[in-house]
Amino acid sequence: MKRNRAESTSWTAGLVGGFLVALSPALAGAQQAQTPFASAVLYEVREDVNCNPGTSTAPDCGDTTANGFGTRIADATLEGATTGAPAFTGLMRTDASSILSKVDWTGPAHGKISVQAAGGTTFAVFSGQLNLSLAMLSAPPMPLAPISGTWTGTKGTLHGGGDFSGVFLVPFQMPGLPDRGWFYLELDPATGRPSGNVVPLRQGEFNPNDPLNGGEFQNGIPLVKLTAGFYTK
């Protein structure tokens, strides 16, 4: 089932008190200590969600008749860029699928990666585990979702593979601010964990082509952001 990008606002989270500091233990495995083979920043430009049972196509499967059981099946496209090893530096596109249990909001994810590197297009595949429980089960909601697994180069100039880990950052609004701006959690670049601060979305972090622009979405629909590190064995 397809959904409108405007439904991404159902993931909007309210920040309460000092809960940002408490997020760090939850992301203990989100990043690795060694220097990554490559680092990527991607934006979810498309996501089609199918919630079973029920008819909801919203990111949170917001169907009150099917809470607490079933699955969330999603196909998504992410676009952005990666830097690091020459074979993994350039514009990146990822086509991914995931199947999550609505009991604990975790499950497998897999997909294909292409990088427009200087030496030619590089291709890879990945598989791992996606964890939406922080965004879906925590009170207040924590606007992020860790993902980790393995990747393997398949064609082009890249050979080999290894592990990857990353965090999806869900845009949210800060209660009480007069401009009702949109923010991501700030990640410490050394650890990949929340620093306790927030950062406003830049102009390029909105989808400007949505028909619902105007009013609350005058800059476009805020995009889910993925920061990820790729490591070699």
Q: What is the DSSP string of 194-206?
A: EEEEEEEPPGGGE
pLDDT at 60: 83
Q: Which of 66, 68, 56, 72 is nearest to 108 (CA)?
A: 72
Task: Indicate left, alpha or beta for 5 from its phi (over 0: left) and psi (-120 to 50: alpha).
Answer: alpha
Residue 165 domain-assigned (yes or no): yes
Using the structure block, give the residue that is written with the tokens 């083979």: 37
Does the residue 33 lie in any domain?
A: no
pLDDT at 157: 65
Percent of the chain whose predicted confidence (pLDDT) is above 70: 75
Report the predicted TM-score, pTM, of the whole model to 2 decimal places: 0.83
Q: What is the pLDDT of residues 141-170, one digit of tens each?
A: 889 999 999 999 987 667 789 999 999 999
Q: Tens digits of per-residue pLDDT, 76-87?
A: 999 999 999 998
| 60 within a domain of the structure (yes/no) | yes
Helices (H), the chain: 133-136
In a domain, 34, yes or no: no
**Is residue 106 domain-resident?**
yes
| Residues spanned by the domain of 74 | 5-28+41-230
**Total domain count, the chain:** 1
| Residue 35 lies inside a defined structural domain of this protein | no
| 61: its two tokens | 């499967």
**90-101 and 71-84 as β-strands: parallel, antiparallel, unpaired?**
antiparallel
Whether 186 is covered by a domain: the verdict is yes
pLDDT average per 10 residues of sequence, the chain (233 residues): 37 39 40 78 94 82 68 95 94 97 95 94 95 89 94 80 95 73 87 86 81 55 94 90
Task: Provide the pLDDT for residue 129.
Answer: 98
The pLDDT assigned to 52 comes to 87
Q: Could you tell me if 45 and 221 are in contact, meaning their C-beta atoms sit under 8 angstroms apart?
A: no
Q: Give me the chain's average pLDDT, please.
A: 80
Is 168 a member of any domain? yes
